[in-house]
Structure 1
Amino acid sequence: MCRDDRGVVLGLYRSHPDRDLLEHALSLGVCGIDTAYNYGGFTSHQQLAHVASDLLGQLTLSTKVGFFPGRDQAGKAVHSLEPNQLREAVERSADQLGRPPDVVFLHNPERSLSELSERAGGDCMVAACAVLADAVATGSCGQWGISSWDPRPVVMAVDAATGDIKPDVLLLRAGLTVPAPILVASEELSRRVRIPPGHRWGMSPFGGSARDAVWSTANLDSFLAQGQQPTAKQAAFRLAYELPPVARVAVGTSKADHLAELVTATTLAVRETSIERYRQLIS
């Protein structure tokens, strides 16, 4: 059965789709898969459809649009909020996957917004979000949302917008590695676009890699109710659902045992007073 409470989403940011891992994920109740138009060198959708076309009906698929082929001055993929490019990417995503995605996120809009004035950014966001809202209306995807690594420029654009910006879902950084200003901005964006915690997803719970030494040595017992004996990785993953409060957390892994370890972690009980104290300290 798919998990509705503190769900786990298997992210494909750094890994290629693996049939065995997908089958294992389903056996654990993990039915969410998160990818993006640009992942895997712009081939993640095709790879996913190739290795698991018969499983896609059992999976909740989320993807993102906003990065396009080419290189900017920093050597990174070109980012654009141009409506026609976004529309084409949404339509191509559905074609490549063989079915409409359940959710399409506007991918890191702050990359383009940071180069615009507040008013221009507001207009740009309204136009970009209208493309995704129209994609839902026409059946090209089930829902739409905003995925942001740094929501501060997005909050400014939403404040300056003269039209509606009403996403169904937000995807935000979550966990102990999120700096206080980003945490505050994430919750501010949620308020601005009226997204409750149940429609917020978290990402990057380990701040880049669960293999970092800190996740093997940190003592996080003070955040958890007594009588539990999780690993530091499990504790950190469970806390990602609280900082900020989210309903699902997307995490990348290529190891079946690691995924099982994280699924088990979702049942851990936390100390809310310790989490609130932590938030006060980092602020």
Structure 2
Amino acid sequence: MNPDLALGTYRCRDVPQAAIHAVACGASWIDTAPNYHHGRAQAHLQPVFAGNRDLRVSTKVGFFTPDIATAAGDAGVLTPAEADSGHCLTHRYVAWQSRRNAAELGHTPDLVFVHNPEQAARPHDAIASAFTALEVEARAGRIGGYGVATWTGFEGAFSVADLLDIATRCGGPGHHLAAVQLPVSLVMLKPVAQALGGIGPLAEAIAAGLDTFASAPLHGGELPSMVTDELVHLIDPGSTPADAALRVTASAPGVKRILLGSGRAQHWEAAQRALALPPLSDKTLHEVIDVLGA
């Protein structure tokens, strides 16, 4: 089954417009965070959810803007030292931020991702603190479940097995750990290479029944200008560089959702067409990895 397209709002310049195009192309999921778009992404999405109640949403806890730090300090959930760090995963802050996210969105989050826990001095302890708070939120029905969104965490800070172990310790066998998010692209090919061998975070997440989100499939919009004609020909002769790059991400075993951050209708339409094509063969993916390295 081909992965679904979802809107990722990290580098979106016009979040509401991007959401309109995403929904028009069949996207049913939006991924956001309280620190995206200078702290305004969630508020900008509130009218979108009001008009599309079936849309699902994932948000995050961890990073915060100066305005959020001030509000959290006033609420007594961030110390001055924590506020200065720009990132916090303490139990009290995570609970407060999760509820603030829901209020800003005007929508119950389907998922709350623990955002880049590799930033913490002791990642496992930080994850446990966040999971403990999010278990309370999930059991109270204030969120659907939780996960971990990471950039480099699976490079040694933790594994999917570690996350499952921590979730079980925090929430028992009925824990609400539901998803992982990580970069998968022509720039970040290691997860693809691992998945082809049946190992790594994508394979482990699927085996555990977790949802998987591929972030930065076009590396912040930089990839199309980096892809050579020779690479396009290897991946999918006649396609555009953006389509070729998306097809590699979409063909990675275990990817269920791909986060696209464009605000242009033509980009969504092209991505929709690219993801409707059959997955690339394992042979082609191996050849791409041989050319670029993992």
Alpha-carbon distance in structure 1 between the residues aligned to 2:160 and 2:275 = 34
Alpha-carbon distance in structure 2 between the residues aligned to 1:156 and 1:32 = 23
Counterpart in the other structure of 1:233: 242
Q: CA RMSD in A?
A: 3.4
Q: Does 1:85 align with 2:93?
A: yes
The alignment partner of 1:168 has SS state of strand
Q: Does 1:164 align with 2:174?
A: no
The alignment partner of 1:241 has SS state of helix
Q: Is the 8 A contact 1:67 1:107 kept in 2?
A: yes
Deviation of 1:20 after TM superposition, in Å, equals: 4.3
User: TM-score, normalised on structure 1?
Assistant: 0.80
Alpha-carbon distance in structure 2 between the residues aligned to 1:7 and 1:272 = 20
Deviation of 1:236 after TM superposition, in Å, equals: 0.8
Deviation of 1:180 after TM superposition, in Å, equals: 3.0
Counterpart in the other structure of 1:122: 124
Counterpart in the other structure of 1:175: 185
Deviation of 1:216 after TM superposition, in Å, equals: 7.0
Alpha-carbon distance in structure 1 between the residues aligned to 2:257 and 2:49 = 24
Deviation of 1:267 after TM superposition, in Å, equals: 1.6
Q: 1:198 to 1:26 in 2, by over 3 A?
A: same
Q: Does 1:223 align with 2:235?
A: yes
Q: Does 1:273 align with 2:267?
A: no
Q: Is the 8 A contact 2:9 2:32 kept in 1?
A: yes
Counterpart in the other structure of 1:247: 256
Counterpart in the other structure of 1:60: 56
- Amino acid in the other structure paired with 2:99: E
Residue of structure 2 aligned with 1:140, choices 117, 139, 142: 142
Q: 1:178 to 1:140 in 2, by over 3 A?
A: same
Alpha-carbon distance in structure 1 between the residues aligned to 2:125 and 2:15 = 40
Residue of structure 2 aligned with 1:38, choices 15, 35, 57: 35
Q: 1:138 to 1:13 in 2, by over 3 A?
A: same
Residue of structure 1 aligned with 2:20, choices 9, 18, 23: 23
Structure 1 gap ranges (5+): none
User: TM-score, normalised on structure 2?
Assistant: 0.78
Q: Is the 8 A contact 2:117 2:150 kept in 1?
A: yes
Residue of structure 1 aligned with 2:117, choices 109, 123, 132: 109
The alignment partner of 1:164 has SS state of helix
Q: Is the 8 A contact 1:175 1:244 kept in 2?
A: no
The alignment partner of 2:200 has SS state of helix
> Number of matched residues?
268
Q: Percent identity?
A: 23
- Amino acid in the other structure paired with 1:57: R
Structure 2 gap ranges (5+): 70-79, 170-174
Name the one with the larger helix percent: 2
